[in-house]
Structure 1
Amino acid sequence: MKILIFILILSSSINASEEKEVIATLWQELGHPPLKQKINNEIPSKVTNIPKQKEIKKELSPGQKKIEEIKARNRRLIREKKVESHASTNIYDLKTQGLSRYKKVVRNTLTEQKNEIKKTRAKWKESRDKFLRNLSNYKENTFEIQSAYTGETQPKLNLLPENVTLTKGSDYYVIKNAFNIEVKDQGKRPTCSAFAGASAIEILLRQSQSSTSVSEQYLYWSSKPYCQTSPCSRKGSWISFAYDKSISAKGFDIPNAKDCPYNASSLPGNETQIPLQNGCRNGKIKVDNYKKIKSSTALYQSLNNDNPVIIGVKLSPNFYTTSGIITYQDSLVNGKMDQHANGHALLLIGHMKLPKKLNTEGKLCYLAVNSWTKGWGAGGYACITEKWLSKYKVANPFMALTKVRSI
């Protein structure tokens, strides 16, 4: 037990650093000034308590007017260096000096942040170069997301209403333990939905102090009911089928990754790679509940409640080679849709406010983690604007995972 706690603490420390790197990089990519939290800690204290210059003028008595005239004369003589000043620094001079120091702090913080981001990008470069060389593999393994449509009305995912204020986390919010899982690689298979579903389960397990990993191999098989007893060649799946199967199971049905390991290589004509290994029958995890997300407000609230959200989207050209920010405006540059872009699933783990220059894209962008290695986006992560998401979502409702268990 002590060893497990030590591993969790060590992992948490490592991933806190990764979270800081990713957030800072995306924040700068959006065009924001340095993160407020950092700047506010370094503002000189003398600046904060200085009264405003504009004050209500009071009528002075003849004696007070005489005193003010003498003070004005003395200030003039001091400026002309005809007398030596023994007075304390004028309070408004203090304010000017304080603001000057504040601007210097901002400049230094911005320079420091830019240098840190350069180091971070350099660290990701090897993964980035490898990803770009293998980009065609990921493009080829997008697919037509299988419909989980049950006949109910499917409203559009509109932008957040004007009356919704961004209070949780203010500048940005990341759901608890979202960075305590690794960025994964689905390889040469159309298994993105299983990977997004597995990562969502693992985040909730980390929130309950469990380090159990989840078998993507099993979840892909479980998401394709018609490919479980005989081989099939149809690509892709949707995670709701696997989640529903787990909810209805009498016991724990989902195995861990060690007992049922993932095979990144495709087996033509046998998408689910059956028969599965014996270890795939060793269930240790169970999904208890999830919610269908049908509005932007529900999506925002689910993330604020620390529930990861699985989404299905069609892909625009700017999605593939993004450096971290995915906007609707950029998606129109080279055409609206890539020829391979049938559909893709990924996981939302938080949100970040947008600067004013991007206000046509909505109030915020959603933090997403992909299963295309750390070479995609900013170390495997990106921020997707509300407008892009509303334009490119598939018909299936998004899914917020709310409760899981493990042995």
Structure 2
Amino acid sequence: MKLYLAILLVIVAVAVASKEEEDLWKSYKKKFNKNHSSKEDVNRKRNFIKRQKAIEAHNRDNKEWKMGHNKFSDMTEEETNVLRGTKMVKRRVKSASEPIYPVNERPLPTYIDYRSNRCLQPVEDQGECGSCWAFAAITALEFNHCKKTGARGPLSEQMLVDCDTYNFGCNGGDFTQAWQYLENYGGAVNGTSYPYVSGTTQTNGTCKSGSNAVAARVGYYNWVIPYPNATLIMSYLQMEGPLPSAIKVLDSFFYYTSGVYSDPACIVSDEYDVNHAVVIVGYGTVPSTTTSPAIPYWIVRNSWSTGWGNGGYFFIRRGVNMCNIESWTAFVRAA
């Protein structure tokens, strides 16, 4: 009798769990407008449930940052790997003279946040295309051009995807090489006249830059050196504005929603272990409490739409070179 009751309880528990998973799956599909064929739905649901369990376990154990569902939750690893589109080449430090910003002599603010600055364009979505390098390059140039001239407006990432022969379109690239291309071939064109349309790795288009007037030119760019140096990055951030960088993206990062991201597996010794381009737009510190120390962080802009993370942004630990973010910062100045 006891064995029968035990078996019955197990059956009931499995049925309840299956019903909960089915309800979660239906709710997710409705929220993120997912329409799958009957055959595909089975595999997509399996991916979703796997992520659901990982999210529950993480949020139960981690108090510094949280995970949640987004448009990636039912995707395969092959599909999310496409978004890791950074291919940094060997670092070439430009020899031209430039102002040296004293780090220890100049007072730095305790908090910088360019997210609401008029020169920062809205967060965009790179789609199923490894073009993060183009978004990082253009974001910094847009800001600097606006800061210098007062002219606010979008520049074209699609032109880089289609035309930049120094990089690989939807198959990845290096934001400093994008600046080199723009420096050598005229400049960036208006984003309204050459809008972003890339959705997959197969949609690299034919270059149409010849029919568009140049809207901004590259005057100078370089790395933030020596590296990694969080204080120096803070100084350049104050003087130059948003700074592109490259990071290593772990699977957990895809489902970030809030808090200060960190992961022991993202403290890496190889500086070339990076696969995604982002833009640092500020920094700050989570105050200490009676139970936890203060947490310094970077405010970072992504190119996975405003539906990802915190309105398209994320916080990540500052001062420990988390995910290599302090090894690849660079700046650009409009001509």
TM-score (norm 2): 0.62
Structure 1 position 291 matched with structure 2 position 222: yes
Question: Which residue among 171, 176, 180 is the counterpart of 1:235?
Answer: 171
Task: Write out per-residue CA displacement over residues 345-371 of structure 1, whole angstroms, 9 at most, x where no aligned residue.
Answer: 000111112333345x6xx21111110
Task: Write out per-residue CA displacement over residues 19-57 of structure 1, whole angstroms, 9 at most, x where no aligned residue.
Answer: xxxxxxxxxx979xxxxxxxxxxxxxxxxxxxxxxxxxx
Change (3 A) 1:135 1:310: farther
**Quick check: which one's strand share is greater?**
2
In the alignment, which residue of structure 2 is the partner of 1:277? Answer: 208
> Which residues in structure 2 correspond to 1:135-284 (within 5 Å)?
137-143=79-85, 145-150=87-92, 168-170=108-110, 172-175=111-114, 177=117, 180-207=120-147, 208-221=149-162, 223-225=164-166, 235-249=171-185, 252-268=186-202, 272-273=204-205, 275-277=206-208, 282-284=213-215
Range 376-385 or range 314-323, more displaced: 314-323
In the alignment, which residue of structure 2 is the partner of 1:373? Answer: 305
Task: Write out per-residue CA displacement over residues 96-116 of structure 1, whole angstroms, 9 at most, x where no aligned residue.
Answer: xxxxxxxxxxxxxxxxxxxxx
Task: Write out per-residue CA displacement over residues 158-180 of structure 1, whole angstroms, 9 at most, x where no aligned residue.
Answer: xxxxx96995443x212482674
- 3-state SS of 1:323 partner: strand
Which sections of structure 1, spanning at least 5 residues, go unmatched?
Answer: 1-28, 32-124, 153-162
Question: Aligned-pair RMSD on alpha carbons?
Answer: 3.6
How far apart are 1:381 and its partner, in Å? 1.0
> Which residues in structure 2 correspond to 1:282-321 (within 5 Å)?
282-293=213-224, 294=227, 295-321=229-255
Q: Which letter maps to 1:352?
A: G
C-alpha distance in structure 2 between counterparts of 1:385 and 1:226, whole Å: 30
How far apart are 1:304 and its partner, in Å? 1.4
In the alignment, which residue of structure 1 is the partner of 2:99? Answer: none
How far apart are 1:398 and its partner, in Å? 1.7
How far apart are 1:258 and its partner, in Å? 2.5
C-alpha distance in structure 2 between counterparts of 1:151 and 1:180, whole Å: 26
C-alpha distance in structure 1 between counterparts of 2:70 and 2:106, whole Å: 36
Change (3 A) 1:394 1:168: closer
User: Could you tell me whether the CA contact under 8 Å between 2:166 and 2:181 is conserved in 1?
Assistant: no
User: Could you tell me whether the CA contact under 8 Å between 2:85 and 2:130 is conserved in 1?
Assistant: yes
Q: Which letter maps to 1:399?
A: A
Q: Which letter maps to 1:404?
A: A
C-alpha distance in structure 1 between counterparts of 2:164 and 2:118, whole Å: 23
Which sections of structure 2, spanning at least 5 residues, go unmatched?
Answer: 1-62, 95-102, 268-272
Change (3 A) 1:138 1:224: farther
Q: Which letter maps to 1:238?
A: D
C-alpha distance in structure 2 between counterparts of 1:265 and 1:189, whole Å: 6
C-alpha distance in structure 1 between counterparts of 2:303 and 2:143, whole Å: 15
Q: Which letter maps to 2:139?
A: S
> Which residues in structure 2 correspond to 1:288-367 (within 5 Å)?
288-293=219-224, 294=227, 295-328=229-262, 331-332=263-264, 343-356=275-288, 357-359=292-294, 364-367=296-299
- 3-state SS of 1:288 partner: strand
Larger Rg: 1
C-alpha distance in structure 1 between counterparts of 2:146 and 2:92, whole Å: 32
Task: Write out per-residue CA displacement over residues 273-321 of structure 1, whole angstroms, 9 at most, x where no aligned residue.
Answer: 3x21255653221011223113322211011114210000111333221
Q: Which letter maps to 1:181?
A: Q
